[in-house]
Structure 1
Amino acid sequence: MSLAAQLLTLANYLSGEFDNREQALAEPAWYVHLRLWHRPLSLFSEDSLTIFAEQANIVNLERPYRQRIMRLLQGSDPDVPFKVQYYMIKDHNTLIGAGQNPALLNTLTPDHLELLPGCVLNLTQQLLAPNSYKFNATPPPDTRCCFSVDGNTVQVSLGFEVTDDKFLSYDKGIDSTTGKATWGALLGPYCYTKRQQY
């Protein structure tokens, strides 16, 4: 199956090493200085493009967290041409540090992943200039992204915008009892700049 050129562009925009240095310096009370890795993978290559994501506090780069898999798919709805499906790594401890050490990803197979049905985003695109796009990823109506970590159910609200050199993350942790956000992009997105292309 041939993949749409825009899907390849999206994967290229997402792939790389990012940080939010300028934002963290400007608003240190609200934004932790983070590094974010998006490593391309060869999983599900028959019909999609896949990325391993991991992040770390800049002062604790040796302790990264939030390992996840993003699968970029072509949708069937012309109004929503692309989707992002998230997966959890069943034993995330085996891949801690793979953002900085991508050799750890060589043994990863679909069997190591757990599909998170409610953790999906609809992607739309906007043409900014010839061959330059902004992609917006938002959850479909009436979906809840929930998964279990160490026996606890975790709920998150996902979303992002990406261009060729910027990645804005709207991800937030949600208190499932109150519905209120408890961590993440509480006052607006984390604004990352791409520092290295993968």
Structure 2
Amino acid sequence: MSDWQTVRTWLAGTYSNRAQAMAEPVWFIPVTLWYVEVAGLFGEGAGFFTEQVSEHTPNQPYRSRVLQLLDNPLRLENYRLKDQKVWAGAAKDPERLGRLRADDCEQLPGCTLYLERRGETFTGKMQPGGGCRLFPGDASYVEIEFELGERLFFTLDRGFEATTGEQTWGSRAGAYRYLKQLH
């Protein structure tokens, strides 16, 4: 299986960091994270809808976005949804998610995650330099890095103030360690 196909297969699923949150409740809340492949979303590669919920507020999904998995080089392009409210909760609603189209999304320049195989996992990182901004003119930038395995997804997502480099949001205690839920 090609690296592209392996990432596609491994990424799709439902993840939870419950074990981490129970072991380190001061630093982590229990979160459920979905990566749902959306057939035919893009003309090339594979499209994924992703969102998450805190297990404390399971009816309030957040961080809904779309990813496009491409090859040569192996990478994930990040997209924001033009109308977050319309798509909130769609990870658990296949019928609604089936209506998602590429024109419902807006690509986030500078937010590409470049993937590299490292033994039995893949690592993903953005180019350094603070180029990933969720909205044009943002005073802060985003940095994301992750490790993906067949049954694990460790991710460190953080926001920084552009002029000072000070971290403004995200984990200060390391990566969220998600395990794939087997149903």
Alignment of 1:66 with 2:58, yes or no, is no
TM-fit CA distance, 1:176: 2.8
* Distance in structure 2 (CA, Å) of the matches to 1:50 and 1:178: 35
SS of the equivalent of 2:5 reads: helix
Name the CA distance, whole Å, in 2 between partners of 1:153 and 1:40.
32
* Higher alpha-carbon deviation: 11-20 or 177-186: 177-186
- Tell me which residue corresponds to 1:141: 128
Q: Is the 8 A contact 1:34 1:56 kept in 2?
A: yes
Aligned-residue RMSD, C-alpha:
1.9
Secondary structure class of the residue paired with 2:150: coil
The answer to whether 1:191 aligns with 2:147 is no
Alignment-derived partner of residue 9 in structure 1 = 6
Contact kept in structure 2, 1:40 and 1:52, CA below 8 Å:
yes
CA offsets, 1:71-122, max 9 Å, x none?
11112xxxxx401110010001111001222322111111111011111111
Structure 1 position 50 matched with structure 2 position 36:
no
- For 1:176 and 1:62, locate their aligned partners in 2 and report how far apart those are by CA, in whole Å: 33
C-alpha distance in structure 2 between counterparts of 1:118 and 1:143, whole Å: 8
Normalised by the length of structure 1, the TM-score is 0.85
Contact 1:134–1:163 (CA under 8 A) maintained in structure 2: yes
SS, match of residue 108 in structure 2: strand
Cα distance in 1 for partners of 2:30, 2:168 equals 18
What letter corresponds to residue 161 of structure 1 in structure 2? E
Unpaired segments ≥5 residues, structure 1: 76-80, 128-132
Residue aligning to 2:160: 174
Please name the residue that 1:33 is paired with: 30
Distance 1:55 1:120, change over 3 A: same
Alignment of 1:90-169 (within 5 A): 90-127=82-119, 133-148=120-135, 155-169=141-155
Inter-CA distance 102–178: structure 2 relative to 1 (3 Å threshold):
farther
Shift in Å, 1:47: 2.4
Given that 1:17 and 1:37 are in contact with CA atoms closer than 8 Å, whether structure 2 keeps it comes out as yes
- The alignment covers a number of residue pairs equal to 182
